[in-house]
Structure 1
Amino acid sequence: MTRTSWYRRALTTLAVSALLIPGLAACGDSGTDAGTDPDGKAKVTLILKDLQNPFFTALADGAKAEAAKNNVELTVVAAKKDGDEQGQIDEIESAVLKGQDGILILPSGPAVNKAMTDARAQGVTVIALDTPPDPIDTADITFATDNFEAGKLIGQWSKAHLAGKPVVIALLDQFSDRTIQTDLNRNQGFLEGMGINLADRTKKGDEAKTGDYDGGTYTIACQEPTTGAEDGGRTAMENCLTKNKDINLVYTINEPSASGAYKALQAAGVQDKVTIVSIDGSCDGVKNVADGVIAATSMQFPVKMAELGVKAVADKVAGKALPAVSDGLDFYNTGTELITDQAKDGVTATTTADGSKTCW
């Protein structure tokens, strides 16, 4: 990712954040008590958003395995639910008090920024995983998917799949009460991949905006929050169907919400008339692609994020530098890959058979 592309996306985020619907008390501990270790182990706290989402549990498993390899004392904590910023703040403060060398965090929103900055001021290495903070330099480094690219891939596939037909789109995002970079970048990437001019999408509340995409016309029928959960996806899709029964393309922030959306479409008897695209790459999600529930998904690599994060803190404690990143932007792209069994000209993709070998 270049400096130009990052700041271009940041400016785009500011331009459309008025439109895009933006949007943890701790539980669970899989590590040992933190504190001074006479053996000189690096001590790291991983702060998840919750313990239910398979993405987060896969990331935690990856962190545990990497910690064992690097003689790292790992503590895993999680919020009650995705979006609980105060819960994450409490966990950051607790990690600092326990004398942790590093904090790995999937920040739930901008309210967490000050606690991250304060921890760094106390000499703790703070690394963001999966969700880039805004501004990006709030953390020492971020290991994450290029979410704009992940969204763009499913947008490009959708555009090729529709081949110029009129499209009525449901956007199923994450939150309705906050702006996070993951949500914005995936959403904007999808729209750009579709060929929809983001400059036309700036009016707050203009949910039924219509216009032209490459080869046809589009209508944004709705934009609903899901909290990234299956039940949230089902409710959001039900709400969208009450607004426009002609929806034929559904973008979802992740695969659990896609599964919920499909159940709502199925209950309405229109599942065969609607294409769902998503982002994640879980083994359940890849199976849903193979089964036709989801048409295409952009695969992420949470285990890689976790491995890089744990090793980075271990290396820092050992006196080594953090990994080099593009143009000094503190962002390390962990990659993304489109998974679908419906290949389209001009869109690079991997089949579900191959995707099942790299899913999580």
Structure 2
Amino acid sequence: MKKVLVILLIAGICISTVFASGQGDSSGDKQIKIGMSVLELANPFFVALTNAAKKAAEENGVELIINDPKQKVEKQVQALETFIASEVDAIIVTSIDPAAINPLVKQAKEKGIVVVCHTTKLDSYDVWVAADEYDMGYTLGLQAGKWIEEKLNGRAEVGILNYDIIPQVINRKKGIIDGIHKFAPEAEIVGDATAGSPTDGMAVAETFLQIHPDMKVICGINDGGALGAYEAVKAAGKDSDDFFIGGIDAVPEAISKIKQGGIYRASVDQAPQIAGKKCVELAIQAINDESFKEDYLQELIPVNASNIMNY
């Protein structure tokens, strides 16, 4: 049986294990073991992703070891080293820093471990599960741009919550900006700072509002940062009827805010529940030398007041 490295980089060295009863459904002689590392479990998206992966592992009789590196590259490196040393069959990884992770992926592949990359492609892999980064951003940007066109007469000062430390996510930011300018070419990007968690999003938004008190639009590359911005805008008493906050991932907290009809106006559903399930299922197929899809791109759905009751 070919060993598989399924890598899902998070951030942190905290590791939890899901033990499933029974054998991996096609392994024949021993239970399949998969190591998974994401960016951080403080992000609601990765909570949903790993919960789905746990469920898929249990359903398939697979042992799943989950690592939370808390966005610390060194902790993710340590986790992958541990996965390789313990001879997992697969590693699922959402890479924090591809340059640091690529050498470990090479080691894993040399040991016959299959690699499943989530979001960020690495130099070598067996499976890639992701949504197109630019399209994700563009889908949010179109919603923000339409809001600016209809509610703000086509003009607005805009703040962007980025995550430029991951190269691929820069394309997501570019998509947001291009989407905004599709409907509102005169909108001005006056703030652009890193914020991928609620804590960082709140801090960055507070600074945005202090420097640009007329800002009316904040878009985040994920819902985590955008939810923090929501709290900052509310605390500043700037939650007016024409303020727009939007993010990406359609996490439960964001869905709840959109349903409330306040300033959190939009998100983009890239279905972390489906992605988590697919990461595990494709890893199992690769481990068992079955036919599998090497590149799996997820469908993107804009989420706003027009369809929020579907969630």
Q: Deviations over 1:158-217 (max 9, x none)?
A: 222222521211011135xx3331x2122111112123xxxxxxxxxxxxxxxxx65541
Matches within 5 A, 1:242-321: 242-272=210-240, 273-291=242-260, 292-321=262-291
Give the conservation status (yes or no) of the 8 Å contact 1:259–1:293. no
d(CA) in 1 for partners of 2:94, 2:184? 38
CA apart distance, 1:68: 2.0
Task: Tell me the SS of whatever aligns to 1:288.
Answer: helix
Q: Is 1:45 aligned to residue 30 of structure 2?
A: no
Residues 1:225 and 2:217 are matched in the alignment: no
Q: Which runs of 5+ in 1 are unaligned?
A: 1-23, 196-212, 325-330, 344-350
- 1:338 correspondence with 2:302: yes
Distance in 2 (CA, whole Å) between partners of 1:293 and 1:256 is: 15
Gaps of 5+ in 2: 1-10, 21-26
Offset, 1:322? 2.8
Alignment of 1:77-116 (within 5 A): 77-79=67-69, 81-82=70-71, 84-110=72-98, 111-116=100-105
Give 1:115-154 correspondences, 5 Å limit.
Answer: 115-129=104-118, 131-133=119-121, 136-154=122-140
Q: Where do 1:122-201 residues align within 5 Å? A: 122-129=111-118, 131-133=119-121, 136-163=122-149, 165-174=154-163, 178-181=165-168, 183-195=169-181
Q: Which of 14, 29, 38 is the matching residue for 1:27?
A: 14
With normalisation by structure 2, the TM-score equals 0.86
Contact 1:287–1:352 (CA<8 Å) still a contact in 2?
no
Contact 2:146 2:184 in 1 (8 A): no
Q: What does residue 4 of structure 2 align with?
A: none
Aligned residues: CA RMSD: 2.1
C-alpha separation in 2, matches of 1:151 and 1:38: 43
The secondary structure found in structure 2 opposite 1:88 is helix
Query: Counterparts of 1:54 and 1:41 in 2: how far apart (Å)?
Result: 29
Letter in 2 for 1:229: S
Q: Give, in whole Å, the separation in 1 of the partners of 2:120 and 2:93.
A: 10
Aligned length: 289
Question: Is the 8 Å Cα contact of residues 44 and 74 (structure 1) preserved in structure 2?
Answer: yes
Identical-pair percentage? 23
Whole-Å Cα distance in 2 between the matches of residues 304 and 313 of structure 1? 14
Q: 1:288 to 1:85 in 2, by over 3 A?
A: same
Instruction: Tell whether the 8 Å contact from 2:245 to 2:263 is kept in structure 1 after alignment.
Output: yes
**Contact 1:154-1:277 within 8 A present in 2 as well:** yes
The 1-side partners of 2:12 and 2:193 are apart by 26
Match of 1:235 in 2: 203
1:12-23 aligned at under 5 Å gives the runs: none
8 Å Cα contact 1:155-1:194 kept in structure 2? yes
Distance in 2 between residues matched to 1:167 and 1:306, nearest whole Å: 37
